[in-house]
Amino acid sequence: MHDGLKRAWDEVVRPLLSRPKRFQVAALCTDGEGDDLRVLLITSRGTGRWILPKGWPIDGLNAPGAALREAWEEAGVKTAEAEAEAIGTYDYAKTLDNGAVVPVETHVFKANVVELSDDYPESDERTRRWVRPQEASEMVDEPGLRDILKNL
């Protein structure tokens, strides 16, 4: 029995715990300034929780460019001006299509929205909502993302 537990630890549990984090990019879409500042949240497709538009890196695009592409596909952000540097990062556990759960580090790029469209690729799969940063911080689940939103 002891050998079986050791083997399970060495071959299954330890490799899962030591896996490197995967990398995603997110767009923190904003509109307005100061007291009028609003951020755009969307619902996830699977659970309906409130999130930022985010996804995996895209070949041929830098990180802010990939974040803007996700903002278009998931939230209808047609035109936006993204900052070149991430304003922060947060971690979460992503469930992949095959059921595996992987740790993800998400780099967040602030993007000032210029034009929003009602017709976009995932419009019938998600809900979007403009909210103040403090309200957004109370709507999301990830503690690191909450901190980013509170510090806007």
Task: State residue 98's pLDDT score.
Answer: 87
Considering only the top CATH level, what class is 20-150? alpha beta
Distance, in Å, from the CA atom of 115 to the CA atom of 139, rounded to the nearest integer, reads 24
Distance, in Å, from the CA atom of 64 to the CA atom of 139, rounded to the nearest integer, reads 24
Distance, in Å, from the CA atom of 33 to the CA atom of 55, rounded to the nearest integer, reads 26
Distance, in Å, from the CA atom of 107 to the CA atom of 91, rounded to the nearest integer, reads 9
Task: State residue 7's pLDDT score.
Answer: 74
Tens of pLDDT, residue by residue over 33-50, are: 999 999 999 999 988 999
Mean pLDDT of 128-145: 97
The predicted model scores a pTM of: 0.85
Tens of pLDDT, residue by residue over 76-129, are: 999 999 999 999 999 998 888 888 888 999 999 999 999 999 999 999 999 999
Tens of pLDDT, residue by residue over 47-75, are: 899 999 999 999 999 999 999 999 999 99
Mean pLDDT of 123-141: 97
Task: State residue 115's pLDDT score.
Answer: 97
In DSSP terms, which residues pair with 112 in a beta bridge? Answer: 30, 81
Tens of pLDDT, residue by residue over 13-37, are: 655 565 678 999 999 999 999 999 9
Distance, in Å, from the CA atom of 144 to the CA atom of 152, rounded to the nearest integer, reads 13
Q: How confident is the model at residue 12 (pLDDT cuts 50, 70, 90)?
A: low
